[in-house]
Structure 1
Amino acid sequence: MTSTRPHDVREHPWSTGLCGCFDDIKSCCITFWCPCITFGQTSEILDKGQTTCVMNCAIYTLIYLLTSCACLYSCCYRTKLRREFGLKEDPCNDCLVHCCCMYCALCQEYRELKSRGFNMEKGWAGNARQQREVAMAPKVEGGMRR
């Protein structure tokens, strides 16, 4: 199997481990009760707003209800996340991680995006708007004066 990534690009470790749920109890609870929400939020950001959280959540739920194999769909987004940020395929193949530990994988992906500065509740548009506002903030020269 050949890699599509250039040979000089190093892969980086994930910001948290696969079982790092104590780092974000809230997202772990949401994922446990309704994994489609975590998947929807993560996939909207990875798709750079080309799809919505609601749409991705609905697709995930439909696949789960019809086949019980939503992990085969969600693992593609793990691969997309890893490639986007140069992350190691750890602890094993993306598909195996999702098939064996789907809830933990979804939480880890959520935490990874959060650690990279994304506000997961705002979605892609909210994060993009926030970045534009920061970029357009007026620069104060000479510091503050009384």
Structure 2
Amino acid sequence: MANLNNASWSSGLCGCTHDVRSCCLTLFCPCIVFGRIAEIVDKGATSCCKSGTAYTLLATATGLGGCLYSFGYRSRLREQYGLEEKPCGDCCVHWFCEPCALCQEYRELQTRGFDMALGWQGNMERMGKSGATAAPRTHQGMTR
């Protein structure tokens, strides 16, 4: 079945007014927010720590922020949930308003029932889904 990408986001791009906690986390630690988003979108195949570190290194090395890396995850998130590509293309949203884009994606996953601090595996356990449905953990790093 084709994905029509016509569902609306649960909140607008600038919908931080009722979510001060996520907004502050995004402003002061975007690498953590991005890492958590990447881990959930990749269904545990990517670790929060590795993604957040890569985001920080790219932002530091290029001076462009992590938007060159993060916009791909917005595209994947939209594809997984059939979300509209608005207000403009994913790359443009991240290029011109990186903090707002990350915060909107974070809120979207929270609205869909994810506890972002738990990561993929923690959410699968919390939701009562067996380990067989979760992507295999491929790293032996820190755990939550």
Q: TM-score, normalised by structure 1?
A: 0.84
Q: Does 1:106 pair with 2:98?
A: no
- Aligned equivalent of 2:42: 47
Is residue 86 of structure 2 the alignment partner of residue 71 of structure 1? no
Instruction: Say if 2:107 is the partner of 1:121.
Output: no
1:1-146 correspondence runs (5 A): 6=2, 9=4, 11-69=6-64, 70-132=66-128
| Cα displacement (A) at 1:68 | 2.0
AA of the residue aligned to 2:101: A
Quote the Cα distance in structure 2 between the aligned partners of 1:38 and 1:10. 24
Moved over 2 A (4+): none
Structure index of larger Rg: 1
CA distance in 2, matches of 1:117, 1:127: 9
Counterpart AA for 2:115: N
User: For the Cα contact (< 8 Å) 2:5–2:79, is it kept in 1?
Assistant: no
Alignment-derived partner of residue 138 in structure 1: none
The alpha-carbon distance between structure 1 residues 128 and 6, as it changes in their structure 2 partners (threshold 3 A), is same
Q: Once the 2 structures are TM-superposed, how far is the Cα of residue 101 of structure 1 from its aligned partner?
A: 0.3
State TM-score, norm by structure 2: 0.85
Cα distance in 1 between the residues matched to 2:5 and 2:94: 24
CA RMSD of aligned residues (A): 1.6
Task: Give structure 1 stretches of 5+ with no counterpart.
Answer: 135-146
Report the CA distance between 1:133 and its aligned residue. 6.5
